[in-house]
């Protein structure tokens, strides 16, 4: 059936006599083009079933009650339809539910609906370090940045924390977590064992503006530092001498 129409059919006029007639009833409806909006998005409101040419008042009530919007006056067309896109959500509307009421000022018809402004923007993480290789017992500076990947307008620069983990854990230690500043943060990796492994950065949002859980992984190899050597003590002995002991020392 057409939205805003109700068909009543059949029934009985008393307990025994069946009716074959039916009646159609019309009523006003109002809708939005989406059920949820990001901050900065235009809300397209449409409706039907109003009296042709009448003024329809649009009122928006927020929950929790932070603000009210309207009433906005919209003229119904020759078919009793309305359309308006003048209301735009903003960053202060995040996690707010809106209750929409459209009232025909001539007909008295009232239609209601609801929508929200609570989208968590998707995110991505980028991880970089000074180098993919680090000498044993040396350090690497690693930087993780988080980007809001939702279409603009979006919720802006992500805020929150980034946790860093190393695998295997024997490869070294890394500071974790760090609080983001300007969309990213820097930590230091301390190389502990000569082996190859990975460093992983995982984002946790500090609000519902951004989705948590995005991550990035980077390979790292701990190598000998190249300054090692071997020494022996004593450093010399006379030819033909026996029974002496020698100490060999190795450094990496």
Do 134 and 92 lie in one domain? The reply is no
CA distance 44 to 155: 20
Query: Quick check: is 245 in a domain?
Result: no
pLDDT of res. 151: 82
Residues 10 and 102 both lie in one domain: yes
Q: What is the pTM of this model?
A: 0.56
Instruction: Please report whether residue 112 resides in a domain.
Output: yes
**Domain C-terminal end among 53, 83, 117:** 117
105 and 133 inside one domain: no
Residue 251 inside a domain? The answer is no
∠ CA 233-239-241, nearest 5°, is: 70
Structure-block tokens of residue 156: 């802006």
What per-residue confidence (pLDDT) applies to 174? 94
Please report whether residue 248 resides in a domain. no
Identify the CATH number of the domain in which residue 70 sits.
2.60.40.1930
User: In the prediction, which pLDDT does 1 show?
Assistant: 45
Both 17 and 47 in a single domain? yes
pLDDT at 71: 93
CB count in 10 Å sphere of residue 186: 14
- Answer whether residue 247 is part of any domain: no
CA end-to-end span of the chain, whole Å? Answer: 82
What is the number of domains present in the chain? 2
Q: Are residues 67 and 134 in the same domain?
A: no
pLDDT one digit per residue (tens) for the chain, 252 residues = 455 555 455 555 565 565 556 555 578 999 999 998 877 889 999 999 999 999 999 999 999 988 889 999 999 999 999 999 999 988 788 789 999 999 999 999 999 999 998 778 899 999 999 999 999 999 999 999 999 998 877 888 999 999 999 999 999 999 878 999 999 999 999 999 999 999 999 999 988 788 899 999 999 999 997 555 556 566 665 655 666 676 755 555
Domain that holds residue 41: 5-117
CATH number at residue 131: 2.60.40.10
Say if residues 44 and 33 touch (Cβ distance below 8 Å): yes
**Domain edge (last residue) among 117, 139, 170:** 117
Residue that the structure tokens 């307008």 belong to = 153
- How many other C-beta atoms are found inside a 10 Å radius of the C-beta of residue 5? 13
């Amino acid at each position: 059936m057409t939205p805003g129409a109700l068909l009543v059919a059949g029934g009985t006029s008393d307990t025994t006599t069946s009716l074959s007639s039916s009646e159609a009833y019309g009523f006003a409806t109002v809708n939005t083009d989406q059920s949820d909006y990001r901050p900065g998005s235009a809300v397209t409101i449409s409706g039907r079933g109003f009296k042709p040419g009448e003024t329809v008042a649009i009122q928006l009530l927020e929950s929790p009650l932070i603000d009210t919007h309207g009433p906005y006056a919209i003229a119904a067309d020759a078919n009793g339809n309305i359309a308006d896109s003048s209301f735009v959500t903003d960053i202060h509307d995040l996690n707010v539910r809106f209750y929409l009421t459209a009232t025909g000022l001539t007909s008295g018809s009232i239609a209601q609906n609801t929508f929200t402004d609570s989208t968590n923007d998707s995110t991505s993480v980028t991880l970089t370090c000074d180098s993919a290789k680090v000498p044993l017992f040396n350090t690497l500076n690693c930087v993780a940045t988080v980007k809001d990947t939702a279409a603009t307008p979006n919720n802006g620069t992500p805020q929150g924390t980034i946790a860093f983990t190393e695998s295997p854990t024997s490869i070294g230690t890394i500071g974790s977590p760090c609080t983001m500043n300007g969309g990213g943060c820097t930590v230091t990796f301390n190389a502990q064992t000569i082996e190859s492994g990975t460093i992983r950065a995982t984002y946790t949002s500090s609000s519902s503006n951004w989705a948590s859980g995005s991550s990035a992984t980077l390979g790292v190899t701990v190598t000998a530092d190249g300054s090692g050597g071997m020494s022996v003590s004593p450093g010399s002995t006379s030819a033909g001498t026996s029974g002496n002991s020698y100490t060999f020392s190795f450094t990496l």
